[in-house]
C-alpha cells in the first residue's frame, strides 16, 4: 500500500491518514443484532415472570380483605419497579455484546428514557403498601407508616434507599441537571448502587412472592448477584485489565485549533486493542485533580502502535484543563465503546456528516472505510479556524475517491437543509448516514434524513453531550 | 433496533403465561402447610394442616374425626374472625365439658410479619385457653388483634357446643 502525503506538523507519525487499516490490527468483534434481540426477549420473560409471581402469591381472600386491593397494587408496583431498576443497572453495565449493537449512546438513551418508571413505581409501592396496611389495621396513615418503619424488618433501611433514589431522580431532571457539573452529578448518581443494595433485603424478607418460596428467593438473589457481577466485570475489571496491559502514558499535547488539543499517548500492545474507527473510550488521566474522573473522548485516529490519539475541545472545566496535561502522565482507559462504526453499515457506501468537534469520530471512522468506497463527507463549522483536522480528512477522502464538502458560517447561512443535502448527496437513500456532533445538530440531521427516506437501520449517530 | 418492543412484549407474555401455568399445575403442592398453627403434636394435628386455606372455603363448623383419646370428643369451629392484619378461625375440641384441644384451621394474614406475630402468639393463646378451660384469658401482649380474634372465635366455638 502506498502512502499519500502526511500533512501533520509533528514528528510523531500519528496524525497522518494513510491506510485504511494497519496490517495485523485485531479483528474487532462484530455487532450481532440477534444477541441484542435475545437479550430483549429474556428481559421480557423476566418482566412477565416478575408480574406473574405477584399474582400467584395473591389469594382471593387476601384481595377481598380490607386494604387488600391497595396492598396488592403495592406488591405489584414494588415487584415491577424493582425489576425495572435491575434493568436500568444492566443497561449501563457495558455488556459488550449489547453495547456493540445499541452503542453506549443508545443504551444511555434507553436508560434515560426508562429511568423515571422504576422510581415512580417504587414511590407508588411505598404509598400503596402504607395505605393498604392502614386500611387493613383500620388505623391512620401516619400511625401505620410509623409501624412499618419501626416494627417491620428492613423497611426503614429500604425507605432510606428509596429516599436516595428519589434524590438522584430529582437531580437527573434536565433543568436541574444542567445546573450541576458533570462530575457532581456522576458522583451522586453512583449512590444508586447503594440505594438498590439497601432495598434488597426487605424484598426477600417481606415480599409475599418470596416468603415461603425458597426457589423464587434463590432465583431472585441470583439475578441480582449476577447483575452485580456483570457491573464489576465490565465497569471495573475489564478496564483495569486493559489499562494494565496497554500502560498508556501521555507523550504530547498538541494544539489543533482554538480551544482544541490533541493528546497523543503511547502504550504497549496497541495492535491488540480491538477498536473500530468512530469509537470512543473513557479516559482517566492519573494526575492531580484529574485521576478520579473518567471522560468519554473519541479516538481521532486509529491506533498507530505504539501511539494512539484523542482530540478534545475545551467545553467544560475538565476538557479545558487537558491542555495543561504533562507528558509522562499515566492514563487508564475504558472501552472502546460505540456502535458508530462501519460494522453497522447496511449499504456499501456512506455519507459522513460532522459538526464542530464531531469531526474526531468522523476522522477515525473514515480511516476505517475501504479504499475506493467513495464516501461523501460534509463538515460544518461556525468559523474556519474551528475546522480542525481538516487537512487529514481531506487526505483520507481523496485516497478513498470520495468528496469533501465544507460548510463554514453561522447556523443560518451555512445550514444543512433538504435542498443542500439533496444537491450534495444525490443518492442519499442508498447510503448509510453517519452523523456526529452536538446533540441538537445530530437530532436535526437525523430528522432531516429520515424525512428524506433514509431507513432507521442506515442512520448512525454519536452525539456529544456537553 | 426495529421491533424491539415486540420482542419485549413477546417475552413478557411468555414469562407471565409460563409462571401461571406452572403455578396452576403445582397448585396443591404450592400451598405449603407453613403455618404450623398451634396444633402441636397432638392427635388433632389433622385439624391444623389446613394452614393457609383460601377464604373462599368458608370455615364450616366441623364435627370432625375422633380427636382426643378416651371419651366422646366433640369439636366445633368458631366463626372466622377478621382482625385487621388478617383473619383466623379456631376449632375447639371438648370431652364432656373440658377443653382438650384448640387448633387454628384458618389463618390468613396480609403480610409475612403479621403471619410471624400470629404464629408466635397462637401457641401461647392455646395454652392459656387449655389452662383456663375456656375463653377467659389474658391474651398475648404485642398481638392484641390476634388475641381478640382468637378469644372471639373460641367463644363462638364453645357457644356452638352449648358450653360456657
- Condensed to tens digits (0 to 9), the pLDDT of residues A236-267 reads 899 999 999 999 999 999 988 888 899 999 99
Which stretches in chain A have pLDDT values below 70? 1-27, 61, 412-414, 465-466
Distance CA B130, CA B101 (A): 7
Predicted local distance difference test score (pLDDT) of residue A410: 76
CB contact under 8 A, A56 and B20: yes
Predicted local distance difference test score (pLDDT) of residue B26: 64
Cβ pair B66, B82 in contact under 8 A: no
The residue count of chain B comes to 164
Which residues are within 8 A (CB) of A18 and not within 5 positions of it... i.e. 6 or more apart?
Answer: A1, A3, A4, A6, A399
**Alpha-helical runs (H) found in A95-181:** 96-114, 116-137, 141-151, 155-171, 174-177
The residue ranges of DSSP E strands in A294-439, in sequence order, are 295-298, 307-313, 330-337, 350-355, 376-381, 403-408, 432-438
Name residue B82's beta-bridge partners.
B87
The answer on pLDDT for B31 being more than 60 is: no
Partner-chain residue, chosen from B2, B15, B56, that has the shortest CB–CB distance to A47: B15
Cβ pair A387, A372 in contact under 8 A: no
Least confident range from A96-105, A278-287, B40-49, B98-107: namely B40-49
The answer on pLDDT for B3 being more than 80 is: no
Q: Give mean pLDDT, residues B1-20.
A: 85
ipTM here: 0.72
Cβ pair A380, A416 in contact under 8 A: yes
Which residues are within 8 A (CB) of A96 and not within 5 positions of it... i.e. 6 or more apart?
Answer: A29, A234
Partner-chain residue, chosen from A44, A60, A133, that has the shortest CB–CB distance to B8: A44
Q: In chain A, which residues have their Cβ closer than 8 Å to the Cβ of B4?
A: 37, 40
CA distance B25 to chain A (A): 12
Cβ pair B77, B90 in contact under 8 A: yes
Cβ pair A102, A96 in contact under 8 A: no
Q: What is residue A232's DSSP assignment?
A: I
As a whole-number percent, the residues of chain A with pLDDT over 90 amount to 35
Cell 496497541 belongs to A270
How many Cβ atoms are within 10 Å of B4's Cβ, its own excluded? Answer: 13
Q: In chain A, which residues have their Cβ closer than 8 Å to the Cβ of B2?
A: 456-457
Predicted local distance difference test score (pLDDT) of residue A414: 66
Distance CA B68, CA B102 (A): 11
Predicted local distance difference test score (pLDDT) of residue A422: 86
Predicted local distance difference test score (pLDDT) of residue A103: 81
Q: In chain B, which residues have their Cβ closer than 8 Å to the Cβ of A37?
A: 1, 4, 7
At A286-309, the pLDDT tens digits run: 988 888 888 889 999 989 888 999
Going by their DSSP bridges, the two strands B98-109 and B86-95 should be labelled as: antiparallel
Q: How far apart are the first and last CA of chain B?
A: 75
CB contact under 8 A, B1 and A102: yes
Predicted local distance difference test score (pLDDT) of residue A322: 84
CB contact under 8 A, B34 and A212: yes
Nearest CA in chain A to B29: A213
Q: What is the 3-state secondary structure (H, E, C) of B74-129?
A: EEEECCCEECCCEEEEEEEEEECCEEEEEEEEEEEECCHHHHHHHHHHHHHHHHHH
| Contact B124/A at CB under 8 A | no
CA distances from B20 to A49, A55, A56, A90, B17 (A): 9, 8, 7, 26, 5
Q: Which residues of B50-73 are buried (b: 16+ CB within 10 A; e: fewer)?
A: bbbbebeeebebeebeebbeeeeb
Cell output for A88? 436500568
Q: In chain B, which residues have their Cβ closer than 8 Å to the Cβ of A211?
A: 112, 115
Predicted local distance difference test score (pLDDT) of residue A389: 86
| Contact A152/B at CB under 8 A | yes
Cβ pair B75, B64 in contact under 8 A: yes
CB contact under 8 A, B11 and A62: no
How many Cβ atoms are within 10 Å of A222's Cβ, its own excluded? Answer: 11
Name residue B76's beta-bridge partners.
B92
Q: Is the four-CA dihedral A96, A102, A107, A110 of positive or negative sign?
A: negative
Cβ pair A376, A424 in contact under 8 A: yes
Q: What is residue A22's DSSP assignment?
A: -
Predicted local distance difference test score (pLDDT) of residue A83: 95
CA distance B40 to chain A (A): 20
| Contact A91/B at CB under 8 A | no
| Contact B10/A at CB under 8 A | yes
Predicted local distance difference test score (pLDDT) of residue A366: 92
Cell 429511568 belongs to A115
At A70-88, the pLDDT tens digits run: 989 999 999 999 999 999 9
Q: In chain A, which residues have their Cβ closer than 8 Å to the Cβ of B148?
A: none
Q: Which residues of B110-140 are buried (b: 16+ CB within 10 A; e: fewer)?
A: bbbbbbebbbebbbbbbebbeeeebbebebb
Distance CA A239, CA A280 (A): 14
The residue count of chain A comes to 466
Predicted local distance difference test score (pLDDT) of residue A56: 86
Name residue A376's beta-bridge partners.
A351, A403
Choose among B54, B163, B51: nearest CA to B105.
B51
CB contact under 8 A, B54 and A138: no
The answer on pLDDT for B154 being more than 50 is: yes
User: What SS3 class is residue A390?
Assistant: helix
Amino acid at each position: 500500500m502506498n502512502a499519500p502525503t502526511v500533512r501533520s506538523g509533528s514528528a510523531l507519525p500519528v496524525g497522518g491518514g494513510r491506510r485504511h487499516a494497519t496490517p495485523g490490527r485485531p479483528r474487532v468483534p462484530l455487532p450481532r443484532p440477534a444477541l441484542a434481540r435475545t437479550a430483549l426477549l429474556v428481559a421480557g420473560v423476566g418482566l412477565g415472570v416478575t408480574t406473574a409471581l405477584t399474582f400467584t402469591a395473591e389469594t382471593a381472600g387476601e384481595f377481598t380483605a380490607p386494604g387488600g386491593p391497595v396492598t396488592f397494587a403495592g406488591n405489584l408496583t414494588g415487584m415491577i419497579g424493582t425489576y425495572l431498576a435491575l434493568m436500568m443497572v444492566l443497561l449501563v453495565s457495558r455488556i459488550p455484546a449489547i453495547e456493540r449493537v445499541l452503542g453506549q449512546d443508545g443504551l444511555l438513551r434507553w436508560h434515560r428514557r426508562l429511568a423515571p418508571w422504576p422510581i415512580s413505581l417504587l414511590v407508588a409501592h411505598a404509598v400503596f403498601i402504607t395505605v393498604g396496611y392502614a386500611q387493613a389495621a383500620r388505623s391512620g396513615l401516619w400511625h401505620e407508616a410509623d409501624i412499618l418503619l419501626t416494627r417491620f424488618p428492613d423497611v426503614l433501611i429500604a425507605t432510606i434507599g428509596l429516599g436516595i433514589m428519589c434524590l438522584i431522580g430529582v437531580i437527573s431532571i434536565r433543568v436541574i441537571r444542567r445546573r450541576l457539573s458533570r462530575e457532581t452529578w456522576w458522583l451522586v448518581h453512583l449512590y444508586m448502587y447503594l440505594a438498590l443494595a439497601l432495598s434488597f433485603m426487605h424484598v426477600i424478607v417481606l415480599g409475599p412472592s418470596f416468603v415461603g418460596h425458597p426457589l423464587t428467593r434463590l432465583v431472585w438473589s441470583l439475578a441480582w448477584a449476577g447483575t452485580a457481577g456483570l457491573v464489576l466485570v465490565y465497569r471495573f475489571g475489564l478496564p483495569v485489565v486493559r489499562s494494565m496491559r496497554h500502560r498508556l502514558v501521555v507523550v504530547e499535547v498538541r494544539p489543533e485549533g482554538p480551544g482544541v488539543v490533541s493528546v497523543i499517548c503511547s502504550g504497549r500492545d496497541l495492535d491488540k486493542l480491538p477498536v473500530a474507527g468512530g469509537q470512543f473510550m473513557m479516559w482517566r488521566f492519573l494526575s492531580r485533580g484529574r485521576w478520579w474522573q473518567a471522560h468519554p473522548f473519541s479516538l481521532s485516529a486509529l491506533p498507530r502502535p505504539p501511539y494512539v490519539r484523542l482530540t478534545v475541545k475545551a467545553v467544560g472545566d475538565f476538557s479545558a484543563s487537558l491542555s495543561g496535561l504533562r507528558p509522562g502522565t499515566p492514563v487508564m482507559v475504558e472501552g472502546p465503546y460505540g456502535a458508530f462504526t462501519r460494522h453497522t453499515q447496511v449499504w456499501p457506501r456512506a455519507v459522513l456528516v460532522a459538526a464542530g468537534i464531531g469531526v474526531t469520530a468522523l476522522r477515525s471512522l473514515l480511516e476505517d472505510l475501504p479504499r475506493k468506497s467513495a464516501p461523501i463527507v460534509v463538515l460544518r463549522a461556525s468559523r474556519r479556524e474551528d475546522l480542525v483536522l481538516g487537512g487529514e480528512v481531506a487526505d483520507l477522502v481523496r485516497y478513498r475517491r470520495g468528496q469533501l464538502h465544507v460548510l463554514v458560517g453561522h447556523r443560518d447561512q451555512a445550514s444543512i437543509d433538504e435542498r443542500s443535502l439533496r444537491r450534495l448527496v444525490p443518492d442519499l437513500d442508498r447510503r448509510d448516514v453517519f452523523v456526529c456532533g452536538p446533540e441538537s445538530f445530530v437530532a436535526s440531521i437525523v430528522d432531516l434524513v429520515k424525512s428524506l427516506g433514509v431507513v432507521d437501520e442506515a442512520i448512525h449517530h454519536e452525539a456529544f453531550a456537553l | 433496533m426495529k421491533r424491539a418492543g415486540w420482542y419485549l412484549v413477546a417475552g413478557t407474555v411468555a414469562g407471565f403465561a409460563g409462571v401461571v401455568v406452572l403455578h396452576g399445575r403445582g397448585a396443591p403442592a404450592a400451598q405449603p402447610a407453613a403455618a404450623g398453627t398451634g396444633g402441636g403434636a397432638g392427635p388433632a394435628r389433622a385439624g391444623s394442616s389446613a394452614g393457609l386455606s383460601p377464604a373462599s372455603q368458608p370455615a364450616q363448623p366441623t364435627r370432625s374425626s375422633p380427636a382426643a383419646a378416651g371419651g366422646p370428643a366433640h369439636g366445633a369451629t368458631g366463626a372466622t374472625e377478621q382482625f385487621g392484619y388478617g383473619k383466623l378461625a379456631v376449632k375447639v375440641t371438648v370431652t364432656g365439658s373440658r377443653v382438650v384441644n384448640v387448633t387454628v384451621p384458618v389463618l390468613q394474614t396480609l403480610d409475612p410479619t403479621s403471619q410471624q406475630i400470629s404464629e408466635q402468639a397462637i401457641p401461647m393463646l392455646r395454652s392459656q385457653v387449655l389452662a383456663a378451660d375456656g375463653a377467659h384469658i389474658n391474651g398475648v401482649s404485642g398481638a392484641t388483634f390476634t388475641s381478640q380474634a382468637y378469644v372471639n372465635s373460641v367463644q363462638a366455638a364453645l357457644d356452638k357446643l352449648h358450653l360456657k
